[in-house]
Amino acid sequence: MRYLPLTDTDRRVMLDRIGAASIDDLFVDVPAEAHLSAKIAGLPDHATELAVERHMAALARRNMAAGDGPFFLGAGSYRHHIPASVDHLIQRGEFLTAYTPYQPEIAQGTLQMLFEFQTQVARLLGCDVANASMYDGSTACWEAVAMAARITKRKRVVLSGALHPHYAEVVKTMSKVTDYEIADSRPSIQPKPDNDGLIARIDDATSCVVVQYPDILGRLPDLEEVGAAARAKGALLVVVVTEPVALGAVKSPGEQGADIVVGEGQSLGVGLQFGGPYLGLFGCKQKYVRQMPGRLTGETVDAEGRRGFVLTLSTREQHIRREKATSNICTNSGLCALAFSIHMTLLGEKGLRDLAMLNHAQAVRAAEQLAAVPGVHVLNDSFFNEFTLLLSKDARQVARILADKGILAGVSLGRLFPGEAGLANGLVVAVTETVTDEDVDALCAGLKEVLA
Amino acid sequence: MTINQSGWRPEMAASGTATGAPTATGNRALMLEEPLIFEIGSADRTGVDLEQAPAVQNRLGGMERSAPIGLPGLSEQETVRHYTRLSRQNYAIDLGLFPLGSCTMKHNPRLNEKVARMPGFADLHPLAPQSAVQGALGVIHELGEWLKTLTGMAAVAMSPKAGAHGELCGLLAIRAALEARGDARKVILVPESAHGTNPATAAFCGYAVEDIPATAEGRVDLAALQARLAVGGPDCNVAAVMITNPNTCGLFEREMKKIADAVHAAGAFVYCDGANFNAIVGRVRPGDLGVDAMHINLHKTFSTPHGGGGPGSGPVVLSEALAPFAPLPIVEKDAAGVFHLIEEETAGQDHAQNFGRMVAFHGQMGMFTRALAYILSHGADGLRQVAEDAVLNANYILRSLEDVLDAPFGGSGPCMHEALFSDKGVAEGFTTLDIAKGLIDEGYHPMTMYFPLVVHGAMLIEPTETESKAALDQFIMALRSVAERAKAGDEALKGAPHFAPRRRLDETLAARKPKLVWEEAALAEAAG
B203 touches chain A (CB under 8 A): yes
CA distance to partner chain A, nearest, from residue B452 (Å): 10
Alpha carbon of B227: minimum distance to chain A alpha carbons (Å): 23
Whether residue B219 is found in the same domain as residue B343:
yes
Minimum CA–CA partner of B171 in chain A: A177
In which domain, by residue range, is B163 found?
A: 112-121+129-372
Same domain, yes or no: B214 and B147:
yes
- Residue B299 belongs to some domain of the structure: yes
Min distance A297 CA to chain B CA atoms (Å): 6
Return the CATH number at B504: 3.90.1150.10
Tell me: do B348 and B460 sit in the same domain: no
Strand, helix or coil at A400?
helix
Q: Is residue B181 a part of any domain in this protein?
A: yes
Same structural domain, B318 and B215: yes
Distance (Å) from the alpha carbon of A33 to chain B's nearest alpha carbon: 8
Tell me chain B's radius of gyration from C-alpha atoms: 26
Do B11 and A305 count as a contact with CB atoms less than 8 A apart? Answer: yes
Distances (CA, A) of B266 to A412, B170, B197, B270: 48, 19, 25, 11
Under-70 pLDDT residues of chain A:
none
Smallest CA–CA distance from B95 into chain A, residue: A94
User: Does A17 touch chain B if contact means CB atoms closer than 8 Å?
Assistant: yes
- Please tell me which residue of chain A has the smallest CA distance to B161: A135
B512 contacts chain A (CB < 8 A): no
Q: Which long-range contacts (CB under 8 A, 24 or more apart) does A397-400 make?
A: A398/A427, A398/A447, A398/A450, A398/A451, A399/A427, A399/B129, A400/B129, A400/B131
| Three-state DSSP state, A253 | coil
Residue B141 CA to residue A62 CA, distance in Å, equals 14
What is residue A354's predicted lDDT score, i.e. its pLDDT?
A: 98
Please give the pLDDT value at position B527: 56
Q: Which of A1, A2, A3 to mutate to test the interface with B (most CBs of B within 10 A)?
A: A3
A238: part of which helix (H) or strand (E)? Answer: strand A236-241
Task: Show which of B321, B344, B372 is a domain's final residue.
Answer: B372
Q: Residue A73: which of B80, B114, B128 has the nearest Cβ?
A: B128
Size of chain B in residues = 528
Compute the distance between CA of residue B227 and CA of residue B365 in angstroms, rounded to an integer: 44
| Residues B257 and B349 placed together within one structural domain of the fold | yes
Chain B contacts in chain A segment 168-227 (CB below 8 A):
169-170, 172-174, 176-179, 219-220, 222
Interchain CB contact of B180 with A (< 8 Å): no
Q: Which residues of chain A are within 8 Å of residue B498 when distances are taken between CB atoms?
A: none
Residues 452-491, chain B, touching A (beta carbon < 8 A): 465-469, 471
Same domain for B385 and B357: no
Do B287 and B366 share a domain, yes or no? Answer: yes
Q: Rounded distance, CA A388 to CA B362, Å?
A: 24
Give pLDDT < 50 ranges for chain B: 1-18, 528
Predicted complex ipTM: 0.97
For residue B525, is it within any domain?
A: no
Q: Does A155 touch chain B (CB under 8 A)?
A: no
Determine the Cα–Cα distance for residues B199 and B217; give it in Å rounded to an integer: 23
**Could you tell me which of A341, A173, A270, A125 has the C-alpha nearest to residue B311?**
A270
Is A404 an interface residue toward B (CB < 8 Å)? yes
Residues of chain A positioned with their CB less than 8 A from the CB of B72: 345, 348-349
Contact A351 B50 (CB under 8 A): yes
Asked whether the beta carbons of residue B164 and residue A318 sit closer than 8 angstroms, the reply is: yes
CATH number at residue B204: 3.40.640.10
Of A10, A138, A174, which has the smallest distance from its Cβ to B469's Cβ?
Answer: A10
* B356 and B451 inside one domain: no
Of A122, A170, A277, the CB nearest to B364: A277
d(CA A240, CA A229): 18
What global pTM score does this model have?
A: 0.96
| CB-CB neighbors (< 8 A) of A124 in chain B | 69, 71
Same domain, B368 and B385: no
Residue of chain B whose Cα is closest to the Cα of A173: B356
Inside any domain, residue B257: yes
The residue among A135, A304, A440 with the most chain B CBs within 10 A of its CB, best to mutate, is A135
DSSP symbol at A232: H
> Quick one: closest CA in A to B517, which residue?
A119
What is the number of domains present in chain B?
A: 2
The answer to whether the CB atoms of A83 and B367 lie below 8 A apart is: no
CA distance A145 to A156: 10
Let me know if B385 is exposed, middle or buried by CB neighbors in 10 A (0-12, 13-18, 19+): buried
Closest approach of A45 to chain B, Cα-based (Å)? 4
Same domain assignment for residues B309 and B340: yes
Query: Which of A18, A25, A63, A285 is best to mutate for the B interface (most B CBs within 10 A)?
Result: A63
The greatest distance separating any two alpha carbons of chain B, rounded to the nearest whole angstrom, comes to: 78
Query: In terms of CA atoms, which chain A residue is nearest residue B251?
Result: A29
| B289 occurs within a structural domain | yes
Residue in B387, B452, B393, B392 with CA at minimum distance from that of residue B421: B452
Angle between helices A437-451 and A334-371 (to 10 degrees): 60
Residue in B closest to A405 by C-alpha: B132
d(CA B87, CA B84): 5
Residue that finishes a domain, picked among B354, B372, B390: B372
Does a structural domain hold residue B508? yes
Spatial distance between the Cα atoms of B9 and B523, rounded to a whole number of angstroms: 15
d(CA B86, CA A106): 11
Residue B472 lies in a domain: yes
pLDDT at res. B194: 87
Distance between CA atoms of B18 and A324, rounded to whole angstroms? 42
Distance from C-alpha of B317 to C-alpha of B327, rounded to nearest angstrom: 12
* B71 inside domain: no
Q: For residue A60, give how far its alpha carbon lies from the nearest alpha carbon of chain B (Å).
A: 4
pLDDT at B524: 62
Burial B130-146 (b: 16+ CB within 10 A, else e): eebbbbbbbbbbbbbeb
Selecting from B133, B469, B510 the residue whose C-beta is nearest the C-beta of A274 gives B133
* B401 and B364 within one domain: no
- The last residue of one of the domains, among B352, B372, B392, is B372
Based on the domain organization, do B349 and B301 belong to the same domain?
A: yes
